[in-house]
Amino acid sequence: MSATAPARLTLGPLLFHWSAAKRRDFYLRIADEAPIDTVYLGEVVCSKRESAFAPYFDEAVSRLQAAGKTVVHSTLALVTTPREVGTLRESAARGLLVEANDVACLDVLAGSPHVVGPYVNVINERTRDFLASQGAVRIVLPVELPETSIRAIAAGAGATAIEIHAFGRQPLSVAMRCYHARSHNLSKDHCQLVCGLDADGLTATSVAGEDVLTINGTQTLSFGYGVVLDEIGRLRESGVGHFRLSPHDLDMVRVATLYRDLLDRRTEPAAVAAELRGMLQGRPLINGFVRGHAGMTWN
């Protein structure tokens, strides 16, 4: 993608288990008020959550599209059953662009235009080029990559757009076991969807009492909120064209406005960081990965 093309602001899939009504209201507000170009809809973490929002999915798609936003259907990051493979095929048949977050989905989508999500490890140019040859029109890079690697992958991407995580707790892993259920002395099969009790995830602390990670069902995320701010100008120059905000239980319209102003050079990174810190009320900003340091640090 040309470094002179307009920067696109995207809203990644909601990773947390909110009530259907809360999720519906969230997306309708995003449609009406947020300066977002692309919205990713779909369940990434646990297939048991999918049915709750299903009655409102088409309404959210219609409202977002009517507001001029592109909608991408995100898939599970860990596909483990034939039923979940069937759901992948249904997603591909909806007519929406699909974000593949598991290599099983890549097989289903091969030959058709699709997005490769951040849970597929694209960490070098050869992987980028192979996926592009299979139909990937956009690749969302993993959060662990430093700026130097991001720029190298973006520089030779050609027509394949490159997207990076720019705000939110960073997704680190998805496992077969449900840590959220275990924390309530429940099994994964009988979890009662207790992940819904924590709208921004459950904090995990070290033995020394330091907040280090966030548990979200079967997913582990960073405790701090990963941000890309000072690096945005350089990344745009190297060809990164899409910047992802991950939904949280915050005023995401305001977060989107801050990033839109930053991308359009109407504000400075320091001012955005200061306002985000105020919104997060003591929860830390981190940028270690993009700076090539320990991920949970701020440099």
The arithmetic mean of pLDDT across residues 84-92, rounded, is 78
Coil, strand or helix at 138: strand
pLDDT exceeds 70 at position 3: no
How much is the mean pLDDT over the chain? Answer: 94
The CATH architecture annotation of domain 8-174+218-291 reads Alpha-Beta Barrel (3.20)
Q: What is the pLDDT of residue 151?
A: 97
Q: What is the pLDDT of residue 85?
A: 79
Q: Which residues pair with 71 in a beta bridge?
A: 39
What are the tokens at 222? 């960073």
What are the structural domain ranges in the chain? 8-174+218-291
Is the distance from CB of 44 to CB of 16 less than 8 angstroms? no
Q: What is the pLDDT of residue 94?
A: 79
pLDDT exceeds 80 at position 91: no
pLDDT tens-place string over residues 101-139: 999 889 889 999 999 999 999 999 999 999 999 999 999
Q: What is the pLDDT of residue 104?
A: 86
List C-alpha distances in Å: 288 to 3, 122, 297, 298: 25, 19, 5, 6
- CA-to-CA distance for 76 and 58, rounded, in angstroms? 18
pLDDT tens-place string over residues 9-36: 999 999 999 999 999 999 999 999 999 9
List C-alpha distances in Å: 39 to 31, 42, 75, 88, 226: 9, 10, 13, 19, 19
- CA-to-CA distance for 241 and 280, rounded, in angstroms? 27
pLDDT exceeds 80 at position 268: yes
The arithmetic mean of pLDDT across residues 194-221, rounded, is 96
Q: What is the pLDDT of residue 155?
A: 94
Run of H or E residues at 192: none
pLDDT exceeds 80 at position 4: no
- CA-to-CA distance for 50 and 36, rounded, in angstroms? 24
The arithmetic mean of pLDDT across residues 53-71, rounded, is 96
What are the tokens at 174? 């998805």
pLDDT exceeds 70 at position 68: yes
- CA-to-CA distance for 198 and 159, rounded, in angstroms? 40
pLDDT exceeds 60 at position 270: yes
Q: Regarding predicted confidence, which is higher, 86 or 175?
A: 175
Is the distance from CB of 145 to CB of 288 less than 8 angstroms? no
